[in-house]
């Protein structure tokens, strides 16, 4: 990320800003929309079993689970790991955060079947 020996702040912000724009930025919006729809459907944080079933329903309807539809996503993006650690420290009580964390635990096993 910092192979040009640039200022570390510039390198980190470039990595995060790489998520902007109609392709990646829209993907982030679609992820958040799916997470909020999940929260609304289950009136809060779904159980692992409910989330697994919901992920299957999403896939069987011909859609992807946002954030897991790209072939390159076989390993976790290090930026996500950093945001997950941040969320555990600062917003662990948030329904949205808890759903994102649970999706991270459940959906990869669904996709590997």
Q: How far apart are CA 30 and CA 36, in angstroms?
A: 10
Residue in 68, 64, 87 with CA at minimum distance from that of residue 76: 68
pTM: 0.76
Q: What is the pLDDT of residues 64-80, one digit of tens each?
A: 888 876 655 556 777 78
Active site residues: 24, 70
CB atoms within 10 A of CB 59: 16
Q: What is the pLDDT of residues 78-103, one digit of tens each?
A: 778 899 999 999 999 999 999 999 99
Q: What is the pLDDT of residues 36-56, one digit of tens each?
A: 999 999 999 999 999 999 999
Q: How far apart are CA 53 and CA 61, in angstroms?
A: 12
Q: Angle 78-90/95-111 helices, nearest 10 degrees? A: 140
Q: How far apart are CA 111 and CA 113, in angstroms?
A: 6
DSSP 47: P
Tell me the range of 13-17, 18-22, 25-29, 53-57 where mean pLDDT is highest: 53-57
């Amino acid at each position: 990320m910092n192979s040009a020996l640039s200022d570390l702040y510039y390198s980190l912000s470039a990595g995060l800003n790489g998520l902007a724009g109609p392709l990646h930025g829209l993907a982030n919006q679609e992820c958040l929309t799916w997470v909020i729809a999940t929260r609304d459907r289950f009136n809060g944080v779904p159980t692992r079993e409910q989330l697994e079933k919901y992920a299957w329903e999403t896939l069987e309807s011909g859609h992807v689970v946002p954030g897991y539809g790209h072939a390159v996503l076989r390993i976790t993006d290090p930026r996500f790991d950093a945001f997950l650690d941040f969320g555990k420290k600062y917003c662990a009580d948030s329904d949205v955060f808890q759903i994102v964390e649970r999706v991270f635990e459940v959906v990869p096993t669904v996709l590997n079947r």
